[in-house]
Amino acid sequence: SSFLDSFCDDTANYTANSIYERNLHQLFSNLTTNAPRTGFYTATAGHGTDQAYGLLLCRGDVPSDVCSSCAYNSVSQVDSDCSGRRSAVLWMEECFIRYSDFNFIGTASTDFNFSMPRSTTNSDPVLFSRQLSRLMANLSSIVIGGASRFAVGDIVFLGSQRIYGMAQCTRDVTLSNCTTCLEDVVREMPICCRGWNEGIVYTVNCGARYGAFPFTFQSGVLASPPESQTPYGSSPGSNRI
């Protein structure tokens, strides 16, 4: 699991061997044990002002063993990188973790996000951007319409070249919040990543990624003819257009 980014809130700290630290480590144990079973888990530990709240989300395509590995790696890294911080977020390739001393579970937030372009530049930015927008619109509609809040798919770019994409929301927020979050993420893509063959945009409630090569553990069910841009051949959480 490759590290992407993190945010350690430096406005509130805890001390070593404190009640909050013990609660936090209990929280981490609950998250790493339970998240790999369904790919998503929220938990709390402790009571009162030292109660810790947490969330761990694995990318919807990863198998449970990869989810488990990413969960442990994210806990280890956030515990190291953000040691002493009462709130933090850490994103990795296959999962992300968030914890705090206030109850954020089920709450929409735009406070923490990151975006990054990667790989090489593409040959036709205008066409690429147009096709990427079509792909993300389709994936967003699948996310909003499915219980897993996840979608993966691809779309034709030039000739045999395709653009591969993924979109996902955490399962604790409402459909309305999921929709708004994905709209914000998709809107950010051309700002951060225009002209690049790969881009990632994540918040604490949703995320999306695209690339010129497959990067997920699953792909869509059926490929459509190059001239078609309408979705067909879908299965739960996956689609090709």
CA 137 to chain centre: 17
Contact predicate 31/56, CB 8 Å: yes
Note the pLDDT of residue 237.
Answer: 33
Cα distance from N-terminal residue to C-terminal residue, the chain: 29
Q: Cβ neighbours of residue 146 under 8 Å, at least 6 residues apart?
A: 236, 237
- Backbone phi and psi for residue 183, each to the nearest 5 degrees, phi listed first: -60, -40
Q: Which residue, 85, 44, 94, is CA-closest to 64?
A: 94
Q: For position 50, what pLDDT does the model report? A: 98
pLDDT of residue 240: 33
Query: Which of 78, 69, 63 has the alpha carbon at shortest distance from 25?
Result: 78
Tokens coding 119: 């790989």
Q: What is the pLDDT of residue 120?
A: 82
pLDDT for residue 122: 84
pTM of the model: 0.88
Question: pLDDT below 50 — which residues of the chain?
Answer: 220-241
Report the pLDDT value the prediction gives residue 227, as an integer from 0 to 100.
Answer: 36
Tokens of 62: 């990863």
Domains of the chain, CATH where assigned: 3-100 (3.30.430.20), 113-240 (3.30.430.20)
> Quick one: tokens of 80?
């190291």
